[in-house]
Amino acid sequence: MGKFIKRAAIAVGLLAAAEAGGSAYFYRRTMKRNKVKVERTMKMSGTDWAQYGPVLQERKSAMLGQPHEDVYITSGDGLRLHATFFPNGETDRFVICFHGYTSQGMSDYVGLSDYYLRNGYGMLLPDARAHGSSEGKYIGFGCLDRYDACAWVEWLVEKCGSGVKILLHGTSMGGATVLMAGGLELPEQVKGIVSDCGFTSPKHVFTHVLHTMYHLPAFPMIQIADLVNRKKAGYGLDDCNAAREAGFIKVPVLLIHGDSDTFVPCSMCEEIYDNCRTARKLIVEGAGHAESYFKNTEAYEKALDDFLGVCMPGKEQD
């Protein structure tokens, strides 16, 4: 009996060590700036971006041909944050665009730059903390980035005057960011929010990825990662949830999601929609993660036209 108990204790200890090791490995690959890889994220997202290469290259060249500048602010916790600013002449209408996980400001909105610049909107494209040219060691997953979003709104109002009208547009992690920011007290200059394939919370999207892509149970990895992240990054993985925050949003909201998204399931969009009293939605058939604009450009731009006609009336959309 003594030998059995000893062997059982060793087995339990080895199992606990394996779980701790696996959790630490998962945490480093997911949350630490120097460990996350854009190539891994693109593979996990399941979207074949090579097919859109020609149109992206064409629009990137046109976008970079517009006057633009690098701008910087300091976050509430002391990080130097970077963005690229496209003033687009003397316009008073701006969109602040928030990118997805492992991306950067000048990557995710190359396609949509044609729509916004053509329709007379200035664009501000921040690099999220721990991304691009912004400082930061740990990724904020919207929970921290929502405060950075408010800081960028304040910067834009100070830069261009209190009469500006601002739209917040986010994709994936950026989509969660703008919804989480919407739950805060936004300045009156923010007139609307567009969230494309945004997730509900880091906890929920990590659980989904562990189940569907790694075929692993979420317990106890998520719980361990949550404890570690509270200590290192200063927030829990479900402290801020876009579906909960959506219930506090006062401005109009447009939710967009592809029904073939395997990275952030469309069910998260439905949950957010059910909780948001100011929301309308566009579900794009056959679109994977962050692919909706390219899969059905006509429907996407029509949804934006109709939405902007409500939250920013008085401007004809081309």
Would residue 129 count as lying in a domain? yes
Per-residue three-class SS string for the chain: CHHHHHHHHHHHHHHHHHHHHHHHHHHHHHHECCCCCHHHHHHHHCCCHHHHHHHHHHHHHHHHCCCCEEEEEECCCCCEEEEEEECCCCCCEEEEEECCCCCCHHHHCHHHHHHHHHCCCEEEEECCCCCCCCCCCECCCCCCHHHHHHHHHHHHHHHHCCCCEEEEEEECHHHHHHHHHHCCCCCCCEEEEEEECCCCCHHHHHHHHHHHCCCCCCCCHHHHHHHHHHHHCCCCCCCCCHHHHHHHCCCCEEEEEECCCCCCCHHHHHHHHHHCCCEEEEEECCCCCCCHHHHCHHHHHHHHHHHHHHHCCCCCCC
Would residue 215 count as lying in a domain? no
**Domain membership of residue 100 as a residue range:** 32-201+240-310
Would residue 1 count as lying in a domain? no
Range 190-202 average pLDDT:
98
Instruction: Report pLDDT digits (tens) over 207-240.
Output: 999 999 888 888 899 999 999 999 999 999 999 9
| Count of domains for the chain | 1
Would residue 296 count as lying in a domain? yes
In which band, very low, low, confident or very high, does the pLDDT at 24 lie, cut at 50, 70 and 90? low
Range 178-206 average pLDDT:
97
Q: Which two tokens stand for residue 26?
A: 């998962």
* Residue 281: how many other CB atoms lie within 10 Å: 17
Would residue 63 count as lying in a domain? yes
Q: What is the CATH number of the domain that holds 169?
A: 3.40.50.1820
Range 2-12 average pLDDT:
45
Q: Give pLDDT, residue 3.
A: 52
Pairing between β-strand 253-258 and β-strand 80-86 as defined by DSSP bridges? unpaired
- Model confidence at 314: pLDDT above 90: no
Instruction: Report pLDDT digits (tens) over 94-130.
Output: 999 999 999 999 999 999 999 999 999 999 999 999 9
In which band, very low, low, confident or very high, does the pLDDT at 18 lie, cut at 50, 70 and 90? very low
pLDDT, mean over the chain: 91
% of the chain with per-residue pLDDT over 90: 80
Nearest CA-CA partner of 261 in 304, 298, 237, 295? 295
- Model confidence at 10: pLDDT above 60: no
Would residue 233 count as lying in a domain? no
- Model confidence at 280: pLDDT above 50: yes
Would residue 9 count as lying in a domain? no
Q: Answer positive or negative: Cα dihedral of 107, 40, 273, 294.
A: positive
Would residue 197 count as lying in a domain? yes
Q: Which residue has the higher pLDDT, 218 or 318?
A: 218
Instruction: Report pLDDT digits (tens) over 127-167.
Output: 999 999 999 999 999 999 999 999 999 999 999 999 999 99
- Model confidence at 40: pLDDT above 50: yes
* Residue 11: how many other CB atoms lie within 10 Å: 10
Q: What b-and-e string marks burial along 61-83, b requiring 16 or more CB atoms within 10 Å of the CB?
A: eebeeeebeebebebeeebebbb
